Structure 1
């Protein structure tokens, strides 16, 4: 059976609200998200956590709240209980999840979408999460990892503690020093609000009539079948101190003309001899490259697989979305953030 698309639909609804649409979201989307939240929780009876993750579950609650939709108390208490018992770590970075849940709690409490007693519990839980994130800050100012740091900063901003919380200034400094790491649309969406002193909660109270209305919708059609093939040069680089040889892989890969970068990787893995291997992790933003040629990007080593097109241009899309041109050279580089 297919797992619920809780996180993906939640992100879509958050983005939809941020564009100031002329009307409320289609009722079917809200209904689907509520359905996904219920389906997602079926996993807790077997695994002790949602089928997806508490991160995606929290995103779902946050998206409904931002659209001023009420959420059943039982749904909220599932997250409260998980936070209270320290179970938010399943399915990814704990800081990411704690931050998303704290934003959801703050949104529900401020939006007066819950009863007074529950609102008080949510306020306490959000402050507890904020303190926890401040305590996990490293000496370099990063909270969790560089990609979870914007989430933590959003919590400080949403709760109005950025002036009194020393961790805020240190984390913002670390973020500004590492902006080069935010090269995809998904990661930019997390960091841009923070750079403008905002959080995702602010889109719940946007006065859309005051917006300049400069956004124009894009009609994105699914890629059509393109006849023929294209050749892509696939390069894997691993600089010092992790590897002695900079270039670990360099080979031409023949793929269909409409192939994505992910298709290129699968085609390379199928070539004889089978010396190219890679691994990905599913996220709400799509598959994320985690391992190439047995080399794993690890948070504790502060590295990640950077995607570039030659000679040195970072890609603005993920591996499933980017479609290289014929003759293009793609570089997978183990990089430090």
Structure 2
């Protein structure tokens, strides 16, 4: 990614140094929030409330929609959804135990009881996954409920030898935040053995996250650009009570806090937003108060409509003297595994186009060959790739199509509507998870 020139190298961030956000960061924060306002999502509500309640112009509408979502919750609702709903309710200063006549706290506690039993068998892994398990620890804790010690012990038993949980940074970040919160409750804090085990687990997880820092050119990530925001928030919270190396904080924040591209999904935006304020959901436990929006009228988030000529298949076999042509190879990989080590299990199509052609236009010309298919969704900031060769990224499974340099595996800093391939470029479309 390319950082805004006004918040580039040398910039300071509240999450790194505790100082108030600069004017440039405030402008970026406002842009992020305005993009999120139309979204009907509990996680989005939490993100905006933590960052700037005074700009949540659609708060009343969102609370009404939240009531509908909560009314649909039952014993089959997964921990992640229940937790986001509870913390969204709490962020609006309503009671999660009575909101919309549903006790979200009780539903989470009941769901915890079934996490390690499947078809009458005991299992070591949480049924809803460690990411959602960590969210649930946070939700109960910030709502003031003591988490059962058995629930905490199960979490510690699920930790990998390298200090992480499950598949990596995402799950580990959520577990760190959850365990940091519950370590202060009485059944842990007053028991020296429990507290020592919990502190050891958190310290191992911190070491794992620190070891997951990656530098790719001018970009610094923790895991990848999608896992980095929550990891940075987790490490920042841990640094308040434990020894944490945050020497990479400014570089990571600079990488994350950039102008939006057409590849940025709602999820990646709401995860990045709290980095600007440096507030995680644990803030909801610390004398949280609510503020009304400055106005009930939201700014327009409708994109300006312009007439765009329909694309057409070009015949590049007819050489024009004044046109410079380039060759671009599109690679498609559907393997979800990381890290990327070079082309494998892929299909490809080679396209000849005029120099200066944007990637989205190259994709259309590839489609004209009959060997490449894709679907995009137009957003206010460009075309977002949703499907490639008939395979659609499943949002509910946290999947997306990432655009990368096929030679190195590095993610592009811009999206399909902005990136201009060079001659002999290998453009990789990789089905990934955030």
TM-score band, normalised by shorter chain:
0.5 to 0.7
Match of 1:25 among 58, 75, 97: 97
Aligned to 2:20: none
Match of 1:78 among 154, 158, 161: 154
Q: CA deviation at 1:167?
A: 2.7
| Alpha carbons of structure 1 residues 280 and 165: separation in structure 2 relative to 1, 3 Å | same
How many angstroms apart in 2 are the aligned matches of 1:189 and 1:12?
A: 15
**What is the total number of aligned residue pairs between the two structures?**
269
Q: Deviations over 1:224-252 (max 9, x none)?
A: xxxxxxxxx9xxxxx95644442244899
Q: Deviations over 1:196-243 (max 9, x none)?
A: 1211211221431xx3222899xxxxxxxxxxxxxxx9xxxxx95644
Do structure 1's residue 183 and structure 2's residue 255 form an aligned pair? no
How many angstroms apart in 2 are the aligned matches of 1:182 and 1:199?
A: 24
**Secondary structure of 2:126 counterpart:** coil
Match of 1:152 among 231, 246, 260: 231
Q: CA deviation at 1:113?
A: 5.9
Aligned to 1:36: 111
Q: CA deviation at 1:61?
A: 1.3
How many angstroms apart in 1 are the aligned matches of 2:184 and 2:405?
A: 39
Q: CA deviation at 1:174?
A: 2.3
Q: CA deviation at 1:28?
A: 2.2
Q: Aligned-residue CA RMSD in angstroms? A: 4.5
For structure 2, list consecutive stretches of 5 or more residues without a partner in the other structure: 1-74, 297-309, 311-326, 332-349, 352-361, 376-385, 419-427
Q: Deviations over 1:100-149 (max 9, x none)?
A: 10100111123546342323432332222112211121123211111111
Q: CA deviation at 1:25?
A: 3.5
Q: CA deviation at 1:301?
A: 3.0
Do structure 1's residue 142 and structure 2's residue 214 form an aligned pair? no
**Secondary structure of 2:215 counterpart:** coil
Q: Deviations over 1:294-314 (max 9, x none)?
A: x9999x93559x999xx78xx
How many angstroms apart in 1 are the aligned matches of 2:248 and 2:134?
A: 23
How many angstroms apart in 1 are the aligned matches of 2:185 and 2:198?
A: 12
Aligned to 2:276: 195
Q: CA deviation at 1:290?
A: 4.1
Q: CA deviation at 1:38?
A: 1.9
How many angstroms apart in 2 are the aligned matches of 1:252 and 1:84?
A: 38
CA contact (8 A) 1:143 1:152 kept: yes
CA contact (8 A) 1:290 1:296 kept: no
How many angstroms apart in 1 are the aligned matches of 2:405 and 2:108?
A: 32
**Secondary structure of 1:134 counterpart:** helix
For structure 1, list consecutive stretches of 5 or more residues without a partner in the other structure: 218-232, 234-238, 254-264, 270-274, 313-332
TM-score normalised to the size of structure 1? 0.64
Higher RCO by CA contacts (8 Å cutoff, separation 6 or greater)? 2
**Secondary structure of 1:139 counterpart:** strand
Aligned to 2:136: 60
How many angstroms apart in 1 are the aligned matches of 2:133 and 2:401?
A: 26
Q: CA deviation at 1:158?
A: 0.9
How many angstroms apart in 2 are the aligned matches of 1:24 and 1:74?
A: 23
How many angstroms apart in 2 are the aligned matches of 1:287 and 1:252?
A: 20
Do structure 1's residue 278 and structure 2's residue 391 form an aligned pair? yes
Q: Which runs of 4+ in 1 moved over 6 A?
A: 250-253, 295-298
Q: CA deviation at 1:181?
A: 7.5
Q: Which of structures 1 and 2 has the bigger CA Rg?
A: 2
Aligned to 2:18: none
How many angstroms apart in 1 are the aligned matches of 2:288 and 2:205?
A: 29
Q: CA deviation at 1:153?
A: 0.6
Residue pairs, 1:5-20, within 5 angstroms: 5-20=78-93
How many angstroms apart in 1 are the aligned matches of 2:295 and 2:143?
A: 21
Do structure 1's residue 167 and structure 2's residue 248 form an aligned pair? yes
| Alpha carbons of structure 1 residues 168 and 19: separation in structure 2 relative to 1, 3 Å | same
CA contact (8 A) 2:163 2:205 kept: no
Aligned to 1:258: none
Q: Deviations over 1:11-60 (max 9, x none)?
A: 22122222222x34336211111122222221495653122211111111
**Secondary structure of 1:142 counterpart:** strand
